[in-house]
Amino acid sequence: MGTSVKVLGAFAAALVIWQSSVLAEMVQGQVTAVNQENRTVTLQQAQPDGKAKEIDLSIPADAEFRGIQSLGEVEVGDEIRAEANKPALGMGAWQTTWIERSNMPDEKAGAHAQRTAGADAASDAPEKAAY
């Protein structure tokens, strides 16, 4: 009987791990905290009942960043979208596979536009003919 209980326990644990890794969800909300050292971001999500809910996102080193270069660019107040796996048994941080900022603050948007405008202008410049 001891062996069958161990096998059943191992199966249940594997099922929980498999379920949490397969069922990625889209999450989004406003950043309320960023912890660079622990690589976590806390989001506040609006719920259908009007109440706010906070969730923690764990950002692994191999997470894909979209529209931003690194976790260092994420700031409190940013709107974030991410694909993340719900924590097993509903406890702990959500594990992200990718993360993106869905808004860009005005001052950053201006700096971004200036950087890209310079690159666009250089690429649009007519080539000099070689004689």
CATH number at residue 54: 2.40.50.320
Residues 90 and 87: their CA atoms lie apart, in Å, by 5
Give pLDDT tens digits for 107-122: 555 444 444 444 444 4
**Is residue 15 included in any domain, yes or no?**
no
- More confident call, 103 vs 100: 100
DSSP codes joined into one string, 42-80: EEEEE-TTS-EEEEEEE--TT-EEESSSSGGG--TT-EE
Containing domain of residue 73, as a range?
Answer: 25-117
Residue 130 counted as domain residue? no
Q: What are phi and psi of 6, to 5 degrees?
A: -65, -45
What pLDDT was estimated at residue 22?
57
- Domain membership flag for residue 111: yes
Give the chain's domain count: 1
Q: How large is the average pLDDT for residues 46-72?
A: 92
State the pLDDT at residue 2.
64
Residue 10 belongs to some domain of the structure: no
pLDDT of residue 106 exceeding 80, the answer is no
